Amino acid sequence: MIKFKFGRNQYHKETFFPLRKRYWLLFPLLLAPPAQATSALAAALQQHVEKELTQYGQRLGIHSQKQQIELHFSGGAEQQFCSQWRFERPQSTEPPLGRLSYRIECLAPVTWTGRATAEVKYWAKVVVAATPVAKDTQLSQSVLKLELQELGSLSRTPLFHLNDAIGQVTKRRLNRGAVVSPFLLENPYVISRGDLVTMRITINGFAAVTKGTALEDARKGERLKVQNNSSGKVLQGVAEGSGLVEIDFTAK
């Protein structure tokens, strides 16, 4: 983050130098970037990044517990005066976390372009394992908790709400404190092979309900084979919930 420091006692003493030395002391001051232009540009980009973070949190339905933005300018952009900016990020579809690159375009009073980078850290509460959890375990609230994490340091987008994890089944073992992401979970089986199921059959707007036997395991939304208990015919359908199969007749 750009900071400006001004010594409180900087001008309390006056020292006289020969004329030649005075010119050499004045020369660096003439080259120094104008603090007002630099601070205005930094404030504008800071506000832009904060807006991106707010929108990011809104998309995920979360609130930042803490955030940190550190800005760096290149190409002398901070030395040029501008009253109206436009900022563009090449990877605008990616989360605004970690090291971000921005293109600066001055729109007025004179057009010019520059570059800047932002180091962004964003902390929010995420779902973690409160205890070690074995593979193929259906998660309950007792083995989960919320914990503050810096999102840019995580390799995958985590879950932010306990209800999104409860009832899901682990694909692998989770150590205590492991961040829980959708990648590590899968839906539980709602139908197991041999279950008595309700077959809901719809044809041209007409619906019929009958009983059948599941010939395969299935999670919600997965296809499976079922046998009609009345006719003995084997059909394919979609598992819609516990013990419920929707028959679409696209395959037999």
pLDDT at 32: 42
Strand pairing report for 98-108 and 196-203: unpaired
- Whether pTM > 0.95 for this model: the answer is no
Q: Give the residues of the chain that fall short of pLDDT 70.
A: 1-38, 249-252
pLDDT at 117: 96
pLDDT at 38: 62
pLDDT at 74: 86
Summarised one tens digit per residue, pLDDT across range 117-155 is 999 999 999 999 999 999 999 999 999 999 999 999 999
pLDDT at 218: 95
Domain 189-247, classified CATH 2.30.30.760, yes or no: yes
DSSP the chain: -------TTTTSS-----HHHHHHHHHHHHHSPPHHHHHHHHHHHHHHHHHHHHHHHHHHT---SEEEEEEEEETTGGGS--SEEEEE-TTTTS-S-EEEEEEEEEEESS-EEEEEEEEEEEEEEEEEESS-B-TTPBP-GGGEEEEEEEGGG-SS-----HHHHTT-EESS-B-TTPBP-GGGEEPPEEE-TT-EEEEEEEETTEEEEEEEEESS-EETT-EEEEEETTT--EEEEEEEETTEEEE--S--
Q: Classify domain 124-186 by CATH number.
A: 3.90.1210.10
Q: Where are the domains of the chain?
A: 35-122, 124-186, 189-247
